[in-house]
Amino acid sequence: MRCLRGREGELKFGQTGGSRNCLSKAKAWSKITLPCNMVTHKLSREELHYAMVMFKLRVHECDGQAYEDLFVSVIGKRYPRFKPVKPHGNTGDRKNDGYIADTGSYFQVYAPENASRNIVHAIEKAKVDFEGLKAYWEKIAPLKEFRFVLNDKFNGPYPEVEKALSEIGKANDLKVCECMLAKHLMEEFLLLDEQGIMQVVGLLPAPESLRNLDFSVFAEVIRHVIANPISLNAIAVLRVPDFDEKLQFNAISSAVGALITRASFQAGAVLTFFQRNATVSKKAIRDKLADIYLHQRDTVAKTALNGSQQGDSIFFGMLKEIVPSESVAAQDAAIVLMAHFFESCDIYDDPNLFT
């Protein structure tokens, strides 16, 4: 993936280049240029899809400080001159969560659990934080651009907040004064290099690696599943529908579907494991995975995600709970385990029960 170079090697903030891995027809959401890391990576379309789903899941999970940390992680990797500001003592961060002195660009993060219920507070915070920021930081680096970083959880902008920021910008003769929404942060995230992307969301599944499984890792994955109970109850139903039918019924994208299908080719390893380890209850594992599935399904249902975004988010949410460590071997074993129980309809919904 390549950045668009301008004069002095700068990138138009939020824009992407013309490579096949870039966001198609991405629209620049701001009107400034910032020094950026020029990146090229070899992620496939499927891996970029996995990264997008995993990032969206992170956004929906993050409120308050957690979202600020996510924002700093992404922008800090994208723009070397970005400086995050940490609160100190009674003075706090002086209404500034991070800035780029060269361009006079300042950022203030607001991430309530439900932004739509806090519009009035968001407007008040934007106004108060801007005044506090200007009073202190104007002396350090002239304030030219102010971005109110709002975790809207992909719901879109709020007219009242946009209006308030427009008024602030005009009253203070700012070059830019706008909301930086979750979708804008995701655009910057997808412009990171491969290492940066995985530092933010973790390992990305690779279908080709499922060909060479480390059988011994199954025991580690199984022990992890057993040791981390979910306080839900599930009734496992053993009915096997057509594989493609079930993928479509559960709104799972073709990219994630391909991953599950490839993993199912190795599912015999799961049967072998249970045959060699008679002390491990297959039913206990089955029911635990069903619990995890219901937990993730209920969690994702509360978000604004829809269609394949829901099905894929449930998959990566389950994978995050199942994988005991940040290792490719453990992740591969977990995906094969999920594929085995997916095929027998112990996780995800069985379309046969709805016909």
Write phi, then psi, for 287 (nearest 5 degrees).
-70, -35
Give me the pLDDT at residue 250, please.
80
Token digits for 54?
Answer: 């995993």
- Residues of the chain with pLDDT > 70: what percent? 71
Packing angle of the helix pair 328-343, 254-264 (nearest 10 deg)? 90
Q: Is the pLDDT of residue 34 over 60?
A: no
> What are the pLDDT digits (tens) for 326-349?
778 788 888 888 888 887 666 776
Higher pLDDT, 178 or 23: 178
- For the beta sheet containing 105-110, the strands, ordered from the edge strand earlier in sequence to the opposite edge, are 83-84, 98-100, 105-110, 145-150, 176-180
Residue type, 5: R
pLDDT (tens digit, 9 = 90+) per residue, 143-156? 899 999 989 888 88
pLDDT of residue 39: 59
62-200 is classed in which CATH architecture?
A: 3-Layer(aba) Sandwich (3.40)
Q: Is 27 left (phi over 0), alpha (psi -120 to 50) or beta?
A: beta
Give the per-residue pLDDT at 74: 94
Q: What is the pLDDT of residue 71?
A: 95
Give the confidence band of 23 by pLDDT, cuts at 50, 70, 90: very low
Give Cβ neighbours of residue 282 (< 8 Å, ≥ 6 apart): 274
Phi and psi torsions of 44, nearest 5°: -75, 170
Residue 106: Cβ within 10 Å count: 27
Q: Identity (one letter) of the amino acid at 117?
A: R
Tell me the two tokens of residue 339: 């594929």
The pLDDT value recorded for residue 77 is 92
The tokens describing 223, both together, are 């022990």
Q: Which of 125-134, 173-182, 219-228 has the lowest mean pLDDT?
A: 219-228
Mean pLDDT of the region 7-31? 40
Q: Residue 10, class by beta-carbon neighbours within 10 Å (0-12 exposed, 13-18 middle, 19+ buried)?
A: middle
- Which value, in Å, is the radius of gyration of the alpha carbons in the chain? 23
Q: Which pLDDT score is estimated for 189?
A: 93
Which tops the pLDDT comparison, 28 or 25?
28
Distances (CA, A) of 74 to 177, 182, 183, 208, 334: 20, 12, 13, 28, 27
> Residue 68: what pLDDT?
92
Q: Identify the pLDDT of residue 37.
A: 59
Tell me: the pLDDT tens digits for 178-217? Answer: 989 999 999 999 989 898 999 999 888 876 665 555 555 5
The more confident residue out of 320 and 4 is 320
What integer best gives the mean pLDDT of the chain?
Answer: 76
Write down the pLDDT at residue 237: 34
Q: Is residue 354 over pLDDT 90?
A: no
Which of 73-87, 162-176, 189-203, 296-310 has the weakest average pLDDT?
296-310
Q: What's the pLDDT at 212?
A: 56
Higher-confidence position of 307 and 190: 190
12: phi then psi, degrees, rounded to nearest 5 = -70, 115
High-pLDDT (> 90) share of the chain, %: 16
Token pair for 79: 């723009």
Residues 6+ apart with CB under 8 A from 231: none
Q: How many CB atoms lie within 10 A of CB 114?
A: 10
CA distances from residue 149 to 74, 165, 190 in whole angstroms, order as listed: 13, 12, 18
3-class secondary structure for 218-266?
Answer: HHHHHHHHHHCCCCCCCCCCCCCCCHHHHHHHCCCCHHHHHHHHHHHCC
Which amino acid belongs to residue 163? K
When pLDDT is cut at 50, 70 and 90, the band that residue 38 belongs to is low
- Structure tokens, 336: 């094969």
Tokens of 14: 């939020």
pLDDT at 170 over 90: yes
pLDDT for residue 205: 83
The confidence band for 62, taking pLDDT boundaries of 50, 70 and 90, is confident
Distance CA 292, CA 341 (A): 12
Mean predicted confidence (pLDDT) in 253-275: 80
Euclidean distance between CA atoms 90 and 88, whole angstroms: 7
Beta-carbon count within 10 A of 327 CB:
14
What is the rounded (10 degree) CA torsion for 233, 238, 239, 243? 90
pLDDT over 50 at 8, yes or no: no
What's the half-sphere exposure (Cβ side, CA atoms, 13 Å) at 237?
A: 10
Residue limits of CATH 3.40.1350 in the chain: 62-200
Asked if 1 contacts 19 with a C-beta cutoff of 8 angstroms, the reply is yes
Whether the per-residue pLDDT at 18 is higher than 70: the answer is: no
